[in-house]
């Protein structure tokens, strides 16, 4: 898998993404049902993520986790636990959780899917993807995340916070700030498959 790693700026201690998601997208017109059609070229990680999320190709989980292990993990300090970002869309199987679980299996690092609790958006509020500025997103996310204090071991742990697609970083920043309120968390490292 070819990648072009980018540093991610935010409230975490270090952060990186494997590659840009979409390299080019050309509008071709509408199909017979009025749906817009595009000729889209994605990076290798972007295409793998697209196939996983929108085509249900679960065979992409292994290669994506292996690429994260090989390319991004050496850029961080020692990691004590992996936390997938809470999903924004309800699915029977969550792609980010599946990648986190596979990365945990490869690295023998425990994965905690439920340390971060996301409260539902207030009734009538627009989806986060429909908000365009960082300020709007920060306001919409304020107070939405809390900690489920599940770690019973004594000590403080470096955590890898894993997401699929990094856009403005508002959600990852909100989760990172929430994690820092938990006395069991030491450093927070951010990893994403792709950036927008």
Question: In a structure prediction context, what are the per-residue pLDDT tens digits for the chain, which is 196 residues long?
Answer: 999 999 999 999 999 999 999 999 999 899 999 999 888 999 999 999 999 999 999 999 999 999 999 999 999 999 999 999 988 777 778 999 999 999 999 999 999 999 999 888 888 888 787 888 888 888 888 889 999 998 888 899 999 999 999 998 999 999 999 999 999 999 999 999 999 9
Does residue 10 form part of some domain? yes
DSSP the chain: -----EE--SSSSEEEEEEESEEEEEEEEE-TTS-EEEEEEE-HHHHHHHHHHHH--GGGHHHHHHHIIIIIGGGS----EEEEPPPSS--SS-HHHHHHHHHHHHHT--B-SSSEEEPPPPTTPPPGGG--SHHHHHHHHTT-EEE-----SSS-EEEEEEEEEESSSHHHHHHHHHHTTSTTEEEEEEEEEEE-
What is the value of pTM for the model shown?
0.90
- 1 found inside a domain: no
Q: What's the structural domain count of the chain? A: 1
- Report yes or no on 155 lying in a domain: yes
Query: Could you tell me if residue 35 is inside a domain?
Result: yes
What pLDDT is attached to residue 109? Answer: 97
Q: What is the pLDDT of residue 69?
A: 97
| Residues belonging to the chain | 196
Which of helix, strand or coil describes residue 89? coil
CATH number (domain holding residue 167): 3.40.50
In a domain, 189, yes or no: yes
Query: Which range marks the domain in which residue 165 is found?
Result: 6-195
186 within domain boundaries:
yes
Distances in Å between the Cα of 165 and the Cα atoms of 66, 92, 156, 186, 192 are 17, 19, 28, 24, 6
Per-residue confidence (pLDDT) for residue 140, from 0 to 100 = 86
pLDDT at 138: 87
Q: Is residue 53 part of a domain?
A: yes
| Residues 191/25, Cβ–Cβ less than 8 Å | no
Residue 157 lies in a domain: yes
The confidence score (pLDDT) of residue 22 equals: 94
Q: Which two tokens stand for residue 121?
A: 């958006």
| Predicted local distance difference test score (pLDDT) of residue 123 | 83
pLDDT of 128: 80
């Amino acid at each position: 898998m070819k990648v072009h790693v980018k540093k991610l700026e935010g409230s975490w201690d270090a952060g990186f993404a494997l590659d840009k998601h979409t390299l080019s997208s050309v509008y071709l017109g509408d199909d017979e049902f009025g749906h817009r059609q595009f000729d889209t070229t994605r990076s290798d990680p972007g295409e793998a993520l697209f196939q996983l999320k929108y085509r249900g190709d679960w065979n992409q989980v292994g290669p994506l986790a292996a690429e994260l292990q090989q390319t991004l993990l050496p850029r961080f300090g020692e990691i004590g636990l992996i936390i997938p970002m809470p999903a924004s869309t309800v699915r029977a199987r969550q792609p980010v959780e599946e990648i986190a679980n596979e990365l945990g299996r490869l690295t023998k690092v425990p994965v905690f899917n439920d340390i971060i609790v996301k409260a539902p958006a207030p009734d009538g509020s627009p989806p986060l993807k429909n908000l365009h500025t960082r300020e709007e997103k920060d306001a919409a996310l304020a107070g939405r995340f809390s900690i489920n204090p599940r770690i019973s071991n004594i000590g403080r742990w470096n955590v890898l916070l894993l997401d699929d697609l990094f856009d403005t970083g508002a959600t990852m920043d909100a989760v990172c700030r929430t994690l820092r309120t938990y006395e069991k968390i030491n450093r927070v490292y951010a990893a994403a498959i792709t950036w927008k």
